[in-house]
Structure 1
Amino acid sequence: MTEPVRVEATPAALALIEEIKADHGPILFHQSGGCCDGSSPMCYPQGDFIVGDRDVLLGTISDVPVYISESQFEAWRHTQLILDVVPGRGGMFSLDNGRERRFLTRSRLMPKT
């Protein structure tokens, strides 16, 4: 049985990821738990964010790892996350900030495998 794909991205998100990678090099995403920036996916340079022992790797998108906290993973374990892009400002510390486009997480129930 194959492992289900837990995270995907829209074409707009893939394009913004490539733009940010061109400017900053290797990056990663961490799905925010809701503090200051709501539930936005936060984008960081790989060397600037320390992945915790209790963070869960959901998968990779365009060679970019996507993490979520263990507690949030438990709440969303039956959900597939889809990174998308909408107009607006990104999270205060996220690399999409200042580009007038920001990442947004959409979701749907996990497809049956």
Structure 2
Amino acid sequence: MVSIGTYQRVEVTDAAASLVRELTAQHGPLMFHQSGGCCDGSSPMCFPVGMFLTGPSDVLLGDLDVGLSAPVEVFMSESQFEYWKYTHLTIDVVPGRGAGFSVEGPTGLRFLIRSRMLDDAELEYFGLAPSAE
């Protein structure tokens, strides 16, 4: 897995990082927005930077180091983040049809999220550990 720093909310598998590098060569710099459901389920959507506009209600989950000159930012809506804040996300790739507007759609692959609960050290690092009262 590719990541930067000690504790991250989001990482990327080597296979997904490889696809991001290929897609960057075709589309230029990319970013992810973790979809909140509805039409695209809960798929991570990958867009050329500037094609999907983030705003003040989006949370930057982290930067993915995929071996390019700049990291790839990953965002999620603030309301959805409230549900996911105790979760570590890993962007992976599997065979299948990509989400509607996500750039991997024509490749025969699709990005997906694998998740796990944050461990005690991560909870403390992110200020989410229960207070000892």
CA distance in 1, matches of 2:79, 2:23: 28
TM-score, normalising length: structure 2 = 0.80
| Partner amino acid, structure 1, of 2:46 | C
8 A contact 1:55–1:68 mirrored in 2: yes
Unmatched tracts of structure 2, length 5 or more? 66-70, 122-133
**Deviation at residue 110 of structure 1 after TM alignment:** 1.1
Q: 1:5 aligns with which of 1, 4, 8?
A: 8
- The within-5 A match list for 1:17-32 is 17-32=20-35
**Deviation at residue 47 of structure 1 after TM alignment:** 1.4
Aligned residues: 112
Identity percentage of aligned residues: 55
**Deviation at residue 92 of structure 1 after TM alignment:** 1.1
Aligned to 1:14: 17
User: Partner of 1:98: helix, strand, or coil?
Assistant: helix
The higher relative CO (CA closer than 8 Å, separation ≥ 6) is in 1
Unmatched tracts of structure 1, length 5 or more? none
Per-residue deviation, residues 21-43 of structure 1 (Å, max 9, x unmatched): 11111110000000211000000
Asked which structure has the greater CA Rg, the reply is 2
8 A contact 1:55–1:70 mirrored in 2: yes
CA RMSD, aligned part only? 1.3
Q: Which 4+ runs in 1 deviate beyond 6 A?
A: none
| Partner amino acid, structure 2, of 1:73 | F
**Deviation at residue 51 of structure 1 after TM alignment:** 0.3
| Partner amino acid, structure 1, of 2:83 | A
Aligned to 1:108: 116
TM-score, normalising length: structure 1 = 0.94
Per-residue deviation, residues 20-79 of structure 1 (Å, max 9, x unmatched): 111111110000000211000000011111102110000011210000010111101110
